């Protein structure tokens, strides 16, 4: 049976977000857990082509050359050269042609070199992936992938195309290239609502992201330009509208054409009215037309823009179109992401606090023990805790309940010889509300404990206050289990809440100076982020934006194009 085009599937939600069970995805793609047959691969490759990001707006050398010529100014100069040659002014014609050729070659050579540099960079991105075909694993170039292929992924692998998860174990994927999130996303197979944002589609894998930990089996759903990354690339590669600079040059050229034409006809007509010799009147009009044309203007513009492109090239920036140099210089609004651009992109421990909000060494020690003995995904939060307290000491590991998306907690059972408790202690950390859900008591600063119900409101108030400061807040809890030798998720009950862990992604040291420099240049900085509004506001103020207007990713997505331009 020939492979159907996913864009023509009867279930639109499968095409938009693959909001179906894995079996339905396989059926829709005429695939199976054993992979595609050789015949199905050939048919799919004929139908879908290669899994590449070929630019739809790629222009040939001839098109690049014509783009340099097709302007009113150039056409007017070329016309002047032709007329000069026709009336015998070969020297004038040669000078004008030389200027036109120089201007065209400057722009053509710069844009051609930039296009080839981009092509060379793209050619370097060539990797293989492991697929299942007719029940056997084999390695193929990602360019050969087609919808329906079954792929195997593990830590370090690039996700080779948009895919739907069939199965996974402790799978975490870095999606920063698409979502901007600094922390990897846990992925698991299963359907999701059709209106779920891209970052929330836990059963989907996206081309351009990469696996940080775990293993997975997935079925390829979309390839090449049909992927989410390809759609973004296509929008970026569409022919951009002319810039203000280009419109200004074109308008000036059109004005010159009109003025020159009008003057030539008016003067020629006046000469004819006064019965001047026809040839003398015509030559005079032509000389006037040639004299009115600013022959050196295109060359001056081209040389100036090329000089700017060379200066940017020395800083590692490829300028594909010379006209954007002027756009760059006249910029008055700069849109930037937050994570890794204005911030360091690294999670740092801001504080380990008890229920009263005071720094707490026991809370830090429990958190460091939990981070030191977990064996799953080594995430930035655990790395920050291990850096804060590298060697908790006096502890041996007895068991672990790994983190999962449902519980949003991670627990380790340890034999803590330095603890006041006798025997094993279960140490849990995770999302604060999910930690509180398994606690019945709270630890006081003096070491005693009280029922959690008496402090829960103040704990949540402190949590909200820290969140509004742009901090990511986790909870830490413990439970004494003297005779335990192993642990299960059911043991996360009747625990004592120990305190808070607050993490921050601090601003880059040079961010405030850069923002101040932008302000001095009268350039307004707009932050676009997928993070929560409180974090974005805090970072904006920290880098010198006193009254930031924050629009979340969801709110921006809901705005019309006209409304978003006014933000």
- Residue in the block written with tokens 């937050």: 338
What spatial distance separates the first Cα and last Cα of the chain, rounded to whole Å?
51
Residue whose entry in the numeric block shows the structure tokens 């992604």: 505
Residues 6+ apart with CB under 8 A from 501: 349, 351, 352, 353, 363, 367, 385, 429, 473, 474, 475, 476
Summarize the confidence of residues 500-511 as an average pLDDT: 88
Instruction: Tell me whether residue 337 is one of the annotated catalytic residues.
Output: yes
The residues near 285 (Cβ < 8 Å, ≥ 6 apart) are 264, 265, 267, 268, 271
Distance from CA of residue 184 to its chain's centroid?
14
Catalytic one among 15, 195, 337, 354? 337
**34-43, 120-129, 359-368, range with greatest mean pLDDT:** 359-368
Sketch out the chain's domains with CATH numbers. 6-51+145-235 (2.70.150.10), 71-88+240-329 (no CATH), 333-344+508-566 (3.40.50.1000), 348-504 (3.40.1110.10)
Contact 219, 25 (CB under 8 A): yes
Q: Which residues is 429 bridged to in the sheet?
A: 410, 476
Burial of 536 (C-beta count, 10 Å sphere; 0-12/13-18/19+): buried
* Beta bridge mates, 333: 524
Given a contact cutoff of 8 angstroms between Cβ atoms, the answer to whether 527 and 337 are in contact is yes
Question: Where is mean pLDDT largest: 220-224, 390-394, 443-447, 521-525?
Answer: 443-447
CA 435 to chain centroid: 32
In tens, the pLDDT along 392-418 reads 877 889 998 887 766 889 999 998 766
- How many alpha carbons lie under 13 Å from residue 475 in its C-beta half-sphere? 26
Rounded Cα–Cα distance for residues 206 and 413 (Å)? 36
For residue 113, give every residue at least 6 positions away whose Cβ sits within 8 Å of its Cβ, in sequence order, or none: none
Q: How far apart are CA 418 and CA 420, in angstroms?
A: 7
Residue 306, strand partner residues:
none
pLDDT the model gives residue 116: 64
pLDDT in tens, 42-57: 888 888 888 876 544 4
Q: What is the mean pLDDT of residues 122-140?
A: 76
The mean of the pLDDT values for the chain is 78
Q: What is the band of 437 on the pLDDT scale with cuts at 50, 70, 90?
A: very high
Question: What's this model's pTM, rounded to 2 decimal places?
Answer: 0.51
| Residue 300: both structure tokens together | 């001056």
Tokens 């195997």 label which residue?
Answer: 152
State pLDDT tens for residues 182-196. 677 888 887 777 677
Tell me the per-residue pLDDT of 272-325, one tens digit each, with 9 for 90 and over.
888 888 767 766 776 666 666 665 566 667 667 777 777 777 777 777 777 777
pLDDT category of residue 370 using cuts at 50, 70 and 90 = very high
Token duo for residue 282: 């015509």
Instruction: List beta partners, residue 541.
Output: none
Which tens digit of pLDDT belongs to each residue from 269-287?
888 888 888 767 766 776 6
Higher pLDDT, 481 or 186: 481
Which runs of consecutive H residues, i.e. helices, occur in 322-455?
A: 324-329, 361-373, 380-388, 432-436
């Amino acid at each position: 049976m020939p492979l159907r085009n996913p864009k023509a599937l009867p279930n639109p939600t499968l095409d938009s977000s693959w909001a179906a069970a894995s079996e339905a995805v396989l059926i829709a793609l005429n695939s199976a857990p054993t992979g595609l047959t050789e015949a199905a691969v050939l048919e799919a490759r004929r139908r879908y082509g290669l899994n590449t990001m070929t630019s739809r707006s790629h222009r040939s050398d001839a098109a690049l050359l014509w783009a340099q010529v097709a302007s009113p100014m150039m056409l007017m100069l070329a016309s002047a050269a032709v007329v000069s040659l026709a009336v015998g002014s070969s020297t004038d014609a040669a000078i004008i042609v030389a200027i036109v050729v120089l201007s065209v070659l400057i722009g053509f050579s710069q844009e051609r070199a930039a296009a080839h540099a981009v092509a060379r960079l793209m050619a370097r991105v060539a990797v293989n992936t492991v697929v299942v075909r007719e029940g056997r694993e084999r390695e193929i170039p990602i360019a050969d992938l087609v919808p329906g292929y079954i792929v195997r992924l593990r830590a370090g692998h690039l996700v080779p195309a948009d895919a739907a998860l069939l199965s996974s174990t402790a799978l975490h994927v870095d999606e920063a290239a698409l979502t901007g999130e600094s922390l990897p996303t846990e992925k698991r197979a299963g359907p999701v609502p059709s209106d779920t944002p891209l970052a929330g589609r836990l059963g989907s894998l996206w081309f351009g992201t990469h696996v940080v930990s775990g293993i997975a089996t997935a079925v390829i759903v979309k390839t090449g330009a049909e992927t989410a990354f390809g759609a973004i690339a296509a929008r970026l590669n569409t022919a951009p509208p002319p810039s203000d600079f280009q419109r200004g040059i074109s308008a000036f050229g059109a004005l010159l054409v009109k003025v020159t034409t009008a003057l030539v006809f008016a003067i020629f007509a006046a000469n004819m009215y006064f019965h001047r010799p026809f040839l003398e009147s015509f030559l005079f009009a032509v000389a006037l037309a040639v004299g009115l044309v600013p022959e050196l203007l295109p060359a001056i513009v081209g040389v100036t823009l090329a000089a700017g492109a060379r200066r940017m090239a020395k800083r590692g920036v490829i300028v594909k179109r010379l006209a954007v140099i002027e756009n760059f210089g006249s910029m008055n609004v700069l849109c930037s992401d937050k994570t890794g651009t204005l911030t360091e992109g690294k999670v740092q421990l801001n504080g380990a606090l008890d229920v009263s909000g005071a720094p707490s060494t026991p809370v830090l020690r429990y958190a460091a023990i939990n981070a030191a003995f977990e064996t799953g995904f080594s995430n930035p939060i655990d790395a920050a805790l291990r850096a804060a307290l590298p060697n908790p000491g006096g502890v041996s590991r007895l068991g672990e309940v790994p983190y999962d998306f449902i519980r949003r907690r991670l627990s380790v059972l340890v034999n803590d010889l330095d603890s006041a408790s006798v025997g094993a202690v279960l140490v849990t950390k995770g999302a604060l509300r999910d930690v509180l859900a398994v606690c019945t008591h709270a630890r006081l600063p003096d070491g005693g404990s009280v029922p959690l119900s008496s402090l829960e409101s103040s704990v949540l108030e402190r949590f909200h206050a820290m969140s509004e400061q742009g901090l990511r807040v986790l909870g830490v809890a413990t439970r004494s289990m003297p005779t335990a030798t192993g642990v299960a998720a059911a043991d996360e009950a009747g625990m004592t809440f120990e305190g808070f862990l607050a993490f921050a992604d601090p601003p880059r040291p040079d961010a405030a100076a850069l923002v101040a420099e932008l302000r001095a240049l009268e350039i307004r900085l707009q932050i676009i982020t997928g993070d929560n509004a409180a974090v974005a506001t805090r970072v904006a103020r920290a880098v010198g934006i006193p009254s930031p207007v924050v629009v979340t990713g969801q709110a921006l997505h809901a705005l019309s194009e006209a409304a978003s331009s006014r933000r």
